Structure 1
Amino acid sequence: MAEDGRYIVRFKASATDDEYKKTIEGIKAAGGKVTHEYTLFKGFAAYLPQGHLTTLSTHPAVDEVENDQQVHTQ
């Protein structure tokens, strides 16, 4: 995964609202940008600043971090 790209960050069901909010605040403070917050699951899409990909991937409240990309149907 390339850093400084757009990613989807999905939190574990057990993640608290405080963990979620603090993560978003940290991304914004580091120069990143949250572009969408999901309602079907606790998570968001964001442009992550360099260094945050590894930090988020190992965060105990985060379930998954993946590239955000276009999906096409056939």
Structure 2
Amino acid sequence: MTAKTFIVTLKDHVAEGDISTVKDAFTKLGGEITHEFSLIKGFSVKVPEVGIDSVKKKHGDSIANIEEDQEVHTQ
């Protein structure tokens, strides 16, 4: 099972305690929080891709977006 890195953005109304709950859901799947953002409510996590949907379904009221981390190029 291959792990990928995802950017998880949380909704503005999410309290600090709820952020910890979402992070714990990813770590219980074998994920590792690799970076926490300071300007937005969010973090990056390296986790097996198969668990993403279950966390999104369980914590959908807190999660605004989950997307695979990718390189960005400018022209």
Structure 1 position 47 matched with structure 2 position 46: yes
- In the TM superposition, what is the alpha-carbon distance from 1:25 to its structure 2 partner? 1.8
TM-score normalized with structure 2 length: 0.80
Q: Percent identity?
A: 29
Whole-Å separation in 2 of the counterparts to 1:53 and 1:29? 12
Look up the match of 1:67.
Answer: 68
Whole-Å separation in 1 of the counterparts to 2:52 and 2:28? 15
For structure 2, list consecutive stretches of 5 or more residues without a partner in the other structure. Answer: none
- In the TM superposition, what is the alpha-carbon distance from 1:50 to its structure 2 partner? 4.3
Flag the structure with higher helix content: 2
For structure 1, list consecutive stretches of 5 or more residues without a partner in the other structure. Answer: none
- Number of matched pairs: 72
* Correspondence list, 1:1-74, <5 A: 4-58=3-57, 59=59, 60-74=61-75
Instruction: Please report the RMSD computed on the Cα atoms of aligned residues, expressed in angstroms.
Output: 1.7
Whole-Å separation in 2 of the counterparts to 1:61 and 1:47? 19
Runs of 4+ in 1 over 3 A off after TM superposition: none
